[in-house]
Amino acid sequence: MESLWPRPRLVVSACLGFAAVRYSGELIPDKVVAALREFADFVPVCPEVEIGLGVPRPTVRLVRGDDGPRMVQPKTGEDLTERMNAFSQGFLEGLGPVEGFILKNRSPTCALKDAKVYARADEGGVVARGPGLFAQAVESAFPLLPKEDEGRLSSARIRAHFFTRVFALARLRRVESLGELRAFHARYKLLLLAYNQAGARALGRLLAEAEGKPYPEVRRAYEDGFLKATRLPFRLGPMADALLHAFGYFKKVLTPKEKAHFLELLGAFREERVPLEAPLALLQSWALRHGVPYLEAQSLFEPYPKPLQSLASS
């Protein structure tokens, strides 16, 4: 499979292994970010430091407001909302192409979903949870791009989904012609079927009708469709159907016992008694043994660099 992967460019909270910029002056080692350094390029950022807050610094918190949460520093009473929003907008507008974001969870700036929102700045309980101000701007500017916090990336399933999307996007953005785009789609066909069959078919139609259209327009439409089709992790049923589709290439060359073994393994996968790697490894070995180049090239077998697949499961 792939020996030299295109390197995705990822925005990351700087405190996750890059700089001691937490409010407490801590640096937080993160094994996922550390493992990715060999394969990805990072843009570290600490929004709180970027708007002039020191290290260490008094904590900031989100406080319920009439037009949405405000970011306030209780010790000083200062409302930092406008400064944070201005920095976020300027940073994201000047960022250039990126393939994804890894942000600090529970942060009033970087949390994607779980920042605490308080009733008042000085006291009062938590009244809601939601995105931090910087993360909110990220979602507005890049609604389709992969985004995760470091807490969720401790889940093997979520991590695999994130890796699959950012490395696919890095590869897609290096495609330079309609012919190359069609080759990309052929390579990702089984993976797309496993994620979203309707989305896979729509992308196929897009390419079938692309002749004569401006290539940049087609590629942008394909990228949007690809990201929408892979927005959610695969479900067991569609993945099993994709594996069965691949199995069809071997019906004339396998023995009855081999066929029965695979179908039993596939049933165990559907029932979550064996991991996806078991039927995938069997299919890949048959593709190599029987010389099926179309299957050998499928990204379903290696959707991101193999060393990243060895990260310990949650």
Q: Does the CA dihedral 185-187-189-194 come out positive or negative?
A: negative
Residue type at position 186: A
Q: What is the pLDDT of residue 309?
A: 86
Q: What is the pLDDT of residue 122?
A: 83
Q: What is the pLDDT of residues 75-117, one digit of tens each?
A: 999 999 999 999 999 999 999 999 999 999 999 999 999 999 9
Q: What is the pLDDT of residue 3?
A: 54
Q: Which residues of 239-265 are buried (b: 16+ CB within 10 A; e: fewer)?
A: bbbbbeebbebbeeebeeeeeeebeeb
Closest CA to 14 of 45, 56, 54: 45
Closest CA to 185 of 216, 218, 160: 218
Q: What is the pLDDT of residue 314?
A: 42
The beta strands (E) that lie in 119-256 are given as 126-130, 147-149
CA–CA dist 113, 104 (Å, integer): 11
Q: What is the pLDDT of residue 313?
A: 46
CA–CA dist 192, 230 (Å, integer): 7
The beta strands (E) that lie in 139-254 are given as 147-149
Residues with Cβ within 8 Å of 257's Cβ and at least 6 positions away in sequence, in order, are: none
In tens digits, the chain (314 residues) has pLDDT values of 455 899 999 999 999 999 999 999 999 999 999 999 999 999 999 999 999 999 999 999 999 998 999 999 999 999 999 999 999 999 999 999 999 999 999 999 999 999 999 999 887 799 999 999 999 999 999 999 999 999 999 999 999 999 999 999 999 999 999 999 999 999 999 999 999 999 999 999 999 999 999 999 999 999 999 999 999 999 999 999 999 999 999 999 999 999 999 999 999 999 999 999 999 999 999 999 999 999 999 999 999 999 998 765 44
Q: What is the pLDDT of residues 143-163, one digit of tens each?
A: 999 999 999 999 999 999 999
